[in-house]
């Protein structure tokens, strides 16, 4: 599980109470899983949506994460957008994804 998981069928975030969170690990995990709830897929690089615990870790949502959210909003409202986001760039529809 890696600390927590977003369950798209029930729209809940389940946190593993036995996971050895350190520092801001729990907050960062909740931010990551909430990103899935908002429709963000995993993303490599400096992003709260980066999967796993390998450094470097983002210290919270980044400008790229906020841009991806804006693109998703624009897609849902039919507004024009300029660059693909996550799985949408590969032809699948954006939506919540569990870890």
Reported as a single tens digit per residue, the pLDDT across 25-82 is: 999 999 999 999 999 999 999 999 999 888 888 999 999 999 999 998 888 776 654 5
> At 85, is the pLDDT very low, low, confident or very high (cuts 50, 70, 90)?
low
Q: Residue 73 belongs to what domain range?
A: 4-78
The two counts, helices (H) then strands (E), for the chain are: 2, 2
pLDDT given for residue 98 in this prediction = 46
The sign of the torsion formed by the CA atoms of 68, 69, 75, 79 equals: negative
* 84 located within any domain: no
Coil/strand/helix, residue 76: helix
Is 99 in contact with 2 (CB distance < 8 Å)?
Answer: yes
Residue 94 lies in a domain: no
pTM above 0.85, yes or no: no
Q: Is residue 95 part of a domain?
A: no
Q: Domain total for the chain?
A: 1
């Amino acid at each position: 599980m890696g600390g927590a998981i977003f369950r798209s069928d029930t729209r809940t975030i389940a946190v593993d109470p036995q996971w050895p969170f350190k520092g801001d690990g729990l907050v960062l995990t909740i931010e990551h899983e909430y990103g899935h709830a908002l429709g963000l897929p995993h993303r490599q690089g400096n992003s709260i949506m980066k999967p796993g615990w390998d450094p470097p870790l983002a210290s919270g949502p980044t400008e790229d994460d906020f841009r991806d959210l804006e693109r998703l909003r624009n897609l849902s409202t039919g507004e024009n957008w300029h660059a693909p986001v996550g799985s949408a760039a590969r032809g699948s529809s954006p939506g919540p994804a569990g870890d």
